Amino acid sequence: MTMGCPENSSWKGCVQDAVRRVFSGGPVYLFFLGLFAVLLVAGIAAGIHSVYIVGSRHAYGSTREIPLAMLIATYTFFVITSTGLCLVSSIGHIFGVERFMPIAKRAVLLSVITIMSGFLVIGLELENPLRLGIYLFLSPNFTSNIWWMGVLYSFEVVLLILEFIFILLDNHKASVAAGLLGILFGIAAISNLGGVFAMLNGREFWYGPYLPIFFIASALLMGCAAVIFFTVLAYRIQREPLESPMADALAAVGKLAGLMLAVIMFFTIWRMVALAVGGTHELLVRDALVSGPFAFNFWVMEAGLGMILPFALVLWSAGKRIGPLFLASALVIFSSFFMRLDMVVAGQIVPMYWELGVREYARLHEYSPTGHEILVVLAGVGLTGAAFLLGEKVFQGFREVEGAGSGSGGTPEDVAQEPRSASKGKVDV
Amino acid sequence: MIFKSLDAETMLKNPEKISEMDRREFLKIGLVITGVFAGGSILSVASAADKIFPNGSIAEKYPYRPHYCMVIRVDRCIGCRRCVEGCAAANAVPSYGWRTLVLEKVVLQAVGQKREFIPVLCNQCNNPPCVRACPVTATYKDKKTGIVMMDNQKCIGCKICMAACPYEARYYNEERGAVDKCDFCFETSLSRGGKSTACQAACPADVRVFGDLSDPQSRVYRLVHQLQQPVWVLKKDTDAKPNIFYTKG
């Protein structure tokens, strides 16, 4: 039997069962499903209105001076999360680390969902997305990072879908093969995404090898955070306690998250130190981040809520308490959006003609997102949220793998704190 | 230090014949005055093109026929901005965009003239970051003229070329459904037998000199290769190898 669908039942029966499970999810579940669906539809409508009816110049906040803005930041947010989920899922599923095994299926599905959310947002940002589908193949530019990004992510999403299908069919060898290829394409794609910015040598804040490496580290952190966040939510949806193997897995993921938080903090510290001895553009960006228009985002949203507080929560959890880990994960996910936004926008705030000292470029460029842009961002959130909620019901919380249903009762926190000698000591994270 | 005397006339007539020793002497002279000027990097007075394009024969340095470039004599600019208007009229540039701009610098502490005008436009780089970044070759370096062109039908509107351009010379044109930029009036003039650009034609002070850098008899060649005035480019550090030169006189 595959998840939620007995082998002798028809597809029609499976679908009917899945629909029944969705509608029996309870009022809270259905409320959030409806809310995310509304966000998705409203965001798509806003994007279509912006690009095809009034024109993005009127609807979006991006300008000639800051052409890459919130929607590009959102795209990077989703695809970095997707690659992170793929990487974290692979630790158990591909590389055989037992404690990470239970998270694999949900993580692979979430990886597919988040990458599709990224595609949705970028699709509503591009002025002519249909031409991309044509000329990506008919007129390729092999020196372009965006061309490679399109190709690598296309392969990755196909491989992720194949991996998930093979997992559902219990075809372990095929799923491992697809997963392994998915990791390779994922890492290539995420570092290349960093290269999209890092190879623009006219943009000193982006230019250099920092971003491609940082994106890989950031992806791992986002993958950990997303696994913890969505898994805890999934158990709430299923109204079941976190059983021992899954609680163990989340504790292990939490430790990895703590490590990656430390890595990201050191990345950030050295980045800021390096900026302090950089050129004029870099100094201006550093000042904007430390004491200028981005100071609140940097100190509160990025450093405070995105690094220091989550790190403290991870330490407090001591690898046992799921509650603090869940809160830390939610904070990391929330704040990383601002991290992406700051990274994208701050790289463009210094005018190209700043050195000339001319009147037209005497001030740093400014950017404010518009309502249309925010709605498109929410479309991505809506797709992720709705698809996650549907996935949990359609695939019945991935029970066969996780062994759910054996429920030992109690709250997730209680269960997580119980001794788990069966799996302890098997994983070093 | 005693420099070997240089015969500029001979050099201009036979640029391919410049000896390696002459090149070194030129570079030494250049180093004396190399610095930052008006935000741009001053090039050796004698070898401005050498600094931008690889050393070698004229055919190697200027691989296009014609190798279009523009020399802007900034001290002549009076800031009337007729060039901007002429460009907009000739190329149907909308009010929200620009292909060329005249920037204004005010230095109140300066002795005498306190304002300077600096025209800017696409630098038609030989190593254009925008062309490298475009995923679908919607923007490309024309193999014959070296002009950085747009194929509007291919542009997906990702705007990465706008972010990549060190000169902020690109904008998204709603009417064209593509990113738009200066093409040295190729579409509206050069391809129809014209010899000048709209901005050059509109300028009452002969600020902008447009021509073929591969032709030693052209004005642009002589302005770039003269000894008397410094020649510089903007954003030299990006190694984009621009074809817009700035000088005075």
The structure's pTM equals 0.87
pLDDT attached to residue B17: 44
A-B Cβ pairs (cutoff 8 Å, strict): 138
Residues B100-111 have a mean pLDDT of 94
Residue pair B58/B231 in contact by the 8 Å Cβ criterion: no
| CB-CB neighbors (< 8 A) of B234 in chain A | 353, 356
HSE (side-chain half, CA atoms, 13 Å) at B236:
22
pLDDT of A226 over the 90 cut: yes
pLDDT attached to residue A237: 87
Q: How far apart are CA A121 and CA A127, in angstroms?
A: 12
pLDDT attached to residue B53: 60
Burial A130-156 (b: 16+ CB within 10 A, else e): ebbeebbeebbbeebbbbbbbbbbebb
A99-117 per-position pLDDT tens digit: 999 999 999 999 999 999 9
A63, A206, A356, best to mutate vs chain B, most B CBs in 10 Å = A356
pLDDT attached to residue A16: 87
Q: According to the per-residue pLDDT averaged within each range, which of A13-22, A215-224, A314-323, B106-115 is highest? A: A215-224
Q: Which of A30-34, B39-43, B208-212 has the lowest mean pLDDT?
A: B39-43
Q: How far apart are CA B170 and CA A147, in angstroms?
A: 20
B108, B118, B149, B159, best to mutate vs chain A, most A CBs in 10 Å = B159
B81-92 per-position pLDDT tens digit: 999 999 999 999
Please count the other Cβ atoms lying within 10 Å of the Cβ belonging to residue A172: 11
Q: Are strands B171-173 and B231-234 parallel, antiparallel or unpaired?
A: unpaired
pLDDT of A339 over the 80 cut: yes
Cα–Cα–Cα angle for A187, A205, A346, rounded to 5 degrees = 95
Domains annotated for chain B, with CATH where assigned, are: 19-247 (3.30.70.20)
Residue pair A179/A124 in contact by the 8 Å Cβ criterion: no
Closest Cβ–Cβ partner in B138, B157, B170 for A126: B157
| Percent of chain A whose predicted confidence (pLDDT) is above 90 | 78
A62 and B CB contact within 8 Å: yes
- Asked whether the beta carbons of residue A360 and residue B104 sit closer than 8 angstroms, the reply is yes
Number of H helices, E strands in chain A: 17, 0
Residues B122-148 have a mean pLDDT of 96
A76-95 per-position pLDDT tens digit: 999 999 999 999 999 998 89
A127, A154, A207, best to mutate vs chain B, most B CBs in 10 Å = A127
DSSP symbols for A271-328 = HHHHHHTS-HHHHHHHHHHHTSTTHIIIIIIIIIIIIIHHHHHHHHHTTT-HHHHHHH
| CB-CB neighbors (< 8 A) of B120 in chain A | 353
- Asked whether the beta carbons of residue A348 and residue B235 sit closer than 8 angstroms, the reply is no
pLDDT of B109 over the 70 cut: yes
Residues B61-90 have a mean pLDDT of 95
A385-418 per-position pLDDT tens digit: 999 999 999 988 776 544 433 333 333 444 344 3
A238-250 per-position pLDDT tens digit: 888 888 889 999 9
A355 and B CB contact within 8 Å: yes
| CB-CB neighbors (< 8 A) of B160 in chain A | 67-68, 144, 146, 196
CA dihedral A199, A203, A209, A213 (to 10 degrees): -100
Q: How far apart are CA A246 and CA A274, in angstroms?
A: 41
DSSP symbols for A104-170 = HHHHHHHHHHHHHHHHHHHHTTSS-HHHHHHHHHHS--TT-HHHHHHHHHHHHHHHHHHHHHHHHTT
- Asked whether the beta carbons of residue A351 and residue B136 sit closer than 8 angstroms, the reply is no
A249-274 per-position pLDDT tens digit: 999 999 999 999 999 999 999 999 99
DSSP symbol at A51: I
- Asked whether the beta carbons of residue B138 and residue A139 sit closer than 8 angstroms, the reply is yes
Q: What ipTM describes this predicted complex? A: 0.88
Question: To the nearest whole number, what is the mean pLDDT of chain A?
Answer: 90
Close Cβ partners of B82 (under 8 Å, ≥ 6 residues apart): B202, B203, B204
Question: Would you place residue A15 in the very low, low, confident or very high pLDDT band (cuts 50, 70, 90)?
Answer: confident
Nearest-neighbour CA in chain A from B214: distance (Å): 27
Q: How far apart are CA A227 and CA A113, in angstroms?
A: 13
Query: Is cis: bond before A293, omega within 30 of 0?
Result: no
Residue pair A410/A417 in contact by the 8 Å Cβ criterion: no
Sign of CA dihedral A266, A268, A273, A275: positive
pLDDT attached to residue A401: 42
* Bigger pLDDT: B30 vs A209: A209
Residue type, B239: D
Phi-psi region of A315 (alpha: psi -120 to 50; beta: other; left: phi over 0): alpha
| Percent of chain B whose predicted confidence (pLDDT) is above 90 | 68
| Percent of chain A whose predicted confidence (pLDDT) is above 70 | 91
Residue type, B78: I
A201, A281, A350, best to mutate vs chain B, most B CBs in 10 Å = A201
- Asked whether the beta carbons of residue B159 and residue A67 sit closer than 8 angstroms, the reply is yes
pLDDT of A200 over the 90 cut: yes
Secondary structure class of A348 (helix, strand, coil)? coil
pLDDT of B235 over the 60 cut: yes
**What are phi and psi for residue A264, nearest 5 degrees?**
-65, -40
Nearest-neighbour CA in chain B from A361: distance (Å): 9
A195 → chain B, closest CA residue: B133
HSE (side-chain half, CA atoms, 13 Å) at B240:
30
- Asked whether the beta carbons of residue B129 and residue A355 sit closer than 8 angstroms, the reply is no
A54 and B CB contact within 8 Å: no
| CB-CB neighbors (< 8 A) of A136 in chain B | 135-136
pLDDT of B204 over the 70 cut: yes
Question: Would you place residue B227 in the very low, low, confident or very high pLDDT band (cuts 50, 70, 90)?
Answer: confident
